[in-house]
């Protein structure tokens, strides 16, 4: 069993699910998605199980995303594995959001892409000081998915737009500030948490019991949230109605406390796929008005077109396959992305924000 990619155990009426591909940073493949979904369904029906803890082996990553190389290879072969993966991954993520028993997601190390999809629907989201969270999809010519079109637009102000477009990774203090985590538990307390979980008496509702336990071991706020300091600038720049306007606004930033950040953010955007940036901005704007199921359906609608019409194959080639780090995006610049092309990915033809260029 130690070689299985997902481990399942029950202790003190708690189901423990552990991602077990530490050498691959616990990146999700189809087998892992299926194992997770089946076990969660079984425990949902088991009256003996009161709660679930979701965690991962290895200190480097809770889950660094989906196994994107396998999806790239699937499309290259003419297989449908990539289509099946997204359908089943999104079904799992949506199931977690509606799970009838409390899930405590315990995140140590990288929590990226598909890893975020696993945890954002959990009742109790716990990070350690080693956590690095993010949605880095635009860097590989893709868009934030796994429910990000729902959870990113619901962060305060324009934080979700900023995180979704740039793909920046944030640490524990920022995760708590943004509302992407609920608690921070020092990594040296992980063993103590397990000991306490094994000895919980279940005299109150399971979620209340878990919350009370976390209140004794973990923090809900941490000092040093960079996003808090940057919030005025993020609000000003990322509320604009196109990625090109956001970029131009960042370039015009003159306040000393924000200037370096603005310059670095422009560099980040300039390394991303222009098409992915524009589609991402549109996706997040639409997601503000959609419910969770509609967001997952919209992301799946984009997925079914993206390998053939988007930039993901080129992004994965440049960054993961050939590793030349020189993707040839199509189109190559924001100015060349037109509104009609962005709109063509979405149901209907109207975009949320009318500009001459989609960029």
Average pLDDT of span 230-246: 98
pLDDT of residue 356: 40
Assess whether 145 carries a catalytic annotation: yes
Residues 248 and 187 in one domain: no
Residues 199 and 295 in one domain: no
- Domain shared by 306 and 189, yes or no: no
**Chosen domain end from 217, 240, 268:** 217
DSSP of 44-66, one letter per residue? Answer: HT-TT--EEEEEESSSSEEE--B
86 plus 207 within the same structural domain: yes
Q: What is the pLDDT of residues 66-91, one digit of tens each?
A: 999 999 999 999 999 999 999 999 99
Tally the domains of the chain.
Answer: 2
> Can you list the alpha helix ranges (DSSP code H) found in 252-350?
256-270, 274-287, 292-309, 312-316, 339-344
- Residue 336 domain flag: yes
Does this model's pTM top 0.85? My answer is: yes
The CA distance from 181 to 183, in Å, is 6
**Same-domain status, 43 and 81:** yes
Q: Please provide residue 224's backbone torsions phi and psi, each rounded to the nearest 5 degrees.
A: 85, 25
Looking at the DSSP bridge assignments, the partners of residue 28 are 66
> What is the C-alpha to C-alpha distance for residues 257 and 343, in angstroms, rounded to an integer?
37
272 domain-assigned: yes
Task: Confirm whether 259 is domain-assigned.
Answer: yes
Of 15, 65, 66, 164, which residue is the catalytic one?
66
Q: Is 113 a catalytic residue?
A: no
Rounded-to-integer distance, Cα 67 and Cα 62, Å: 14
Same domain, 231 and 267: yes
Tokens of 19: 């991602």
Do 196 and 289 sit in the same domain of this protein?
Answer: no
Comparing C-alpha atoms, which of 359, 309, 312 is closest to residue 145? 312
Is 299 marked active-site? no
* 311-324 pLDDT tens trace: 999 999 999 999 99
pLDDT of residue 112: 98
3-state helix, strand, coil in the chain (%, to 5): 50, 10, 35
Confidence (pLDDT) at 348: 79
Average pLDDT of the segment spanning 284-309: 97
Choosing from 89, 137, 174, 303, the catalytic residue is 137
Is residue 352 a part of any domain in this protein? no
Q: Assess whether pLDDT exceeds 90 at residue 338.
A: yes
Mean pLDDT across the chain: 95
Any domain includes 309: yes
Q: How many CB atoms lie within 10 A of CB 173?
A: 21
Q: Are 313 and 331 in the same domain?
A: yes
The reply to whether 117 and 243 lie within a common domain is no
Which one of 67, 89, 93, 145 is the catalytic residue? Answer: 145
Q: Is residue 296 part of a domain?
A: yes
Domain that holds residue 88: 6-134+183-217
Q: Is 66 a catalytic residue?
A: yes
Kindly state whether residues 206 and 254 are assigned to the same domain.
Answer: no
End residue of a domain, out of 197, 217, 237:
217
Residues 107 and 204 in one domain: yes
Closest among 298, 299, 246 to 272, alpha carbons compared: 246
Tell me what the mean pLDDT of segment 167-190 comes to. Answer: 98
CA distances from 108 to 165, 177, 189, 236, 269 (A): 24, 18, 12, 32, 27
Residue 190 within any structural domain of the chain: yes
Q: Are 43 and 96 in contact (CB under 8 A)?
A: no
At CA 341, angle to CA 138 and CA 295, rounded to 5? 55
Q: What is the pLDDT of residue 119?
A: 98
- Looking at the structure, tell me whether residues 239 and 196 fall in a common domain: no
Average pLDDT of span 243-253 = 98
Catalytic residue among 114, 117, 164, 167: 114
Mean pLDDT of 209-214: 98
CA distance 5 to 305: 30
Can you tell me the mean pLDDT for 7-26?
98
- 352 pLDDT above the threshold of 70: no
Compute the average pLDDT of residues 93-121. 98
Q: What is the mean pLDDT of residues 89-106?
A: 98
In a domain, 161, yes or no: no
Of 89, 65, 27, 90, nearest to 5 by C-alpha is 27
Query: Residue 56's domain is classified under what CATH number?
Result: 3.90.226.10
């Amino acid at each position: 069993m130690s070689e299985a990619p997902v481990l399942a155990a029950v202790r003190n009426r708690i189901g423990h699910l552990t991602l077990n591909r530490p050498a691959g940073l616990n990146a999700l493949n189809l087998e892992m998605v299926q194992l997770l979904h089946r076990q969660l369904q079984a425990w949902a029906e088991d009256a003996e199980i009161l709660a679930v803890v979701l965690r991962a082996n290895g200190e480097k990553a809770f889950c660094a995303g989906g196994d994107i190389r396998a999806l790239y290879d699937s499309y290259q072969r003419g297989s449908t594995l990539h289509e099946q993966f997204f359908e089943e991954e999104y079904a799992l993520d949506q199931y977690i959001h509606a799970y009838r028993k409390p899930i405590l997601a315990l995140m140590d190390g990288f929590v990226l892409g598909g890893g975020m999809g696993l945890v954002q629907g959990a009742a109790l989201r716990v990070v350690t000081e080693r956590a690095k969270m993010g949605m880095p999809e635009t860097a590989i010519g893709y868009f934030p998915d796994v429910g990000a079109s729902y959870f990113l637009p619901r962060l305060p102000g324009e934080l979700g737009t900023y995180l979704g477009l740039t793909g920046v990774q944030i640490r524990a203090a920022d995760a708590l500030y943004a509302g992407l985590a609920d608690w921070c538990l020092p990594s040296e307390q992980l063993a103590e948490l397990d000991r306490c979980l094994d000895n919980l008496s279940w005299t109150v509702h399971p979620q209340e019991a878990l919350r009370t336990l976390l209140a004794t071991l973990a923090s809900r706020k941490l000092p040093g949230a960079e996003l808090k300091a940057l919030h005025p600038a993020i609000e000003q720049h990322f509320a604009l109605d196109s990625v090109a306007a956001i970029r131009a606004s960042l370039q015009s930033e003159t306040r000393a406390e924000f200037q370096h950040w603005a310059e670095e953010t422009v560099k980040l955007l300039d390394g991303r796929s222009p098409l992915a940036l524009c589609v991402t901005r549109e996706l997040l704007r639409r997601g503000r008005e959609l419910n969770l199921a509609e967001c997952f359906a919209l992301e799946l609608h984009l997925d079914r077109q993206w390998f053939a019409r988007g930039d993901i194959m080129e992004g994965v080639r440049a960054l993961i396959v050939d590793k030349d780090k020189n993707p040839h995006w199509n189109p190559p610049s924001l100015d060349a992305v037109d509104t009609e092309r962005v709109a063509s990915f979405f149901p209907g033809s109207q975009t949320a924000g009318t500009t001459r260029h989609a960029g």
